[in-house]
Amino acid sequence: MELRIGYFYPDELNLYADRGNVICLVQRCRWRGIDVRVVPVELRERFNPDDFDILILGGGQDRDQRIVADDLVEVKGEALRSAVESGVVVLAACAAYQLLGHYYQPAEGERIRGLGIFDAYTIHPGPSEPRCIGNIVVEWQGRTLVGFENHGGRTVLGPGATPLGRVVVGFGNNGQDGTEGAVYKAAFGTYMHGSLLPKNPHFADHLIWLALKRRYTDVTLAPLDDRLELAAHQAAVQRAKAGG
């Protein structure tokens, strides 16, 4: 079996160590004997949706987000939509999550058009409202996901969107309605940035499993020794609950 990962904008959308997610997927495949390849998908570069099983998109600085937004819509938009429709796994964190909604309205300046893959929109309420910063715990399929969020924009889901999970500790999409992230087919959007997957190995494996299942019949993932992963998970949950 093999898995092909497209790592989008590694130079621009890397603010919060999103590389950790890529490293995690690669190693969890390698340790199981699954061939894995990571291909960077850069600015101004077109891509073929049939070439990938998983696409990873992360967060960036404001300026980078604008540069990337145009590219995402104009250059890669069509291919990305078709990838999502055909069940390619997408993990979009932070800025990339916002750009997969209908639009992002910054505190100043023009509205940034998104791809509309998620029925969601994001509004930055301006500098008078504090940013949503801190450890976050989310309930997902009866288990917990734990990460860190740092975003000014508030995302509101429309009727066509399903949240990724419910907030247990933290802000999530908007700090109001208790939702965090969005799911459409195998596309996942989330405010839990950076190194989400390493300390949530069950979620990492879910993504790998979804991606393999699309190409191979009879996919079972061999179990790995996840004691360290789960210890890191527990430590993060404890810090979140302690308000740390």
Partner 1 sequence: MGVNRIPVIGAAKALRNAARLLRLGGGTAFPGLVVEAVAPDYLDEWTQQLTGGVILVSGTNGKTTTVRMTAEILLRAGYEPVSNRAGSNLLRGILSALVERSDWQGRLVLGGRGVGLFEVDEGTLPQMLDRLRPHVVVLTNLFRDQLDRYGEVEALARAWRRVLAETPPEVLIVNADDPNLAALAEEFPKDVFLFGLEGSPFTRDQLPHAADARFCPRCNGPLKYDLVYYSHLGKYRCPDCGWTRPVPDIAGEIVRTQGVENLGLLIQFGGEPFEVDLPIGGTYNAYNALAATAVAYAYRVPVRLVRQGLGAFQPAFGRQQVVVFNRRRLVTILVKNPAGFNEAINLILSDGRDEPKNLLIILNDRVNDGRDISWIWDVDFDLLRGWVGLVVASGLRAAEMALRLKYAEVAGTVDSPEPIVEPDIRRAIDIAVEKTRPGSTLYILPTYTALLDLQRILARRGLTRPYWEA
Catalytic residue among 24, 29, 94, 132: 94
Kindly identify the residues of this chain, within the stretch 63-102, that bind partner 1 according to CB under 8 A. 63, 67
Catalytic residue among 124, 151, 193, 233: 193
Q: What are the angstrom distances between the C-alpha of 93 and each of 31, 46, 90, 214, 222?
A: 25, 21, 10, 22, 27
Task: Say how many CA atoms lie within 13 Å of 73 toward its Cβ.
Answer: 17
When asked if residue 124 is in the footprint of partner 1 (CB under 8 A), the reply is no
DSSP H or E stretch at residue 168: strand 165-169
193 is catalytic: yes
Kindly identify the residues of this chain, within the stretch 138-177, that bind partner 1 according to CB under 8 A. 148, 150
Q: Shortest distance, CB of residue 18 to partner 1, whole angstroms?
A: 8
CB closer to partner 1 out of 14 and 98? 14
Q: By CB under 8 A, name the one of 8, 194, 208, 210 that touches partner 1.
A: 194
> Which residues, at least 6 apart from 93, have a Cβ–Cβ distance to it below 8 Å?
16, 18, 21, 57, 58, 59, 189, 190, 191, 192, 193, 194, 196
CB closer to partner 1 out of 72 and 204? 204
Q: Find the part of the chain contacting partner 1 (CB under 8 A) among 19-27, 79-87, 109-117, 162-170.
A: 19-27
CB closer to partner 1 out of 71 and 117? 71
Give the chain's end-to-end CA distance (angstroms, integer): 41
Q: By CB under 8 A, name the one of 6, 199, 205, 206 that touches partner 1.
A: 199
- List the structure tokens of 3: 């898995």
Distance between CA 168 and CA 153 in Å, rounded?
A: 20
Q: Find the part of the chain contacting partner 1 (CB under 8 A) among 32-40, 82-90, 181-189, 192-200.
A: 192-200
When asked if residue 137 is in the footprint of partner 1 (CB under 8 A), the reply is no
Distance between CA 66 and CA 62 in Å, rounded?
A: 7
Task: Say how many CA atoms lie within 13 Å of 118 toward its Cβ.
Answer: 32
Q: Find the part of the chain contacting partner 1 (CB under 8 A) among 11-19, 83-91, 110-118, 166-174.
A: 11-19
DSSP H or E stretch at residue 212: helix 201-215
Kindly identify the residues of this chain, within the stretch 225-244, that bind partner 1 according to CB under 8 A. 228-229, 231-232, 234-236, 239, 244
In this structure, are residues 152 and 107 in contact, taking their beta carbons and an 8 Å threshold? yes
Distance between CA 2 and CA 53 in Å, rounded?
A: 9
Kindly identify the residues of this chain, within the stretch 23-52, that bind partner 1 according to CB under 8 A. 23-24, 27
Instruction: Give me the active site residues, please.
Output: 94, 193
Residues engaged in binding partner 1 (CB under 8 A): 10-12, 14-17, 19-20, 23-24, 27, 61-63, 67, 133-135, 148, 150, 193-195, 198-199, 228-229, 231-232, 234-236, 239, 244
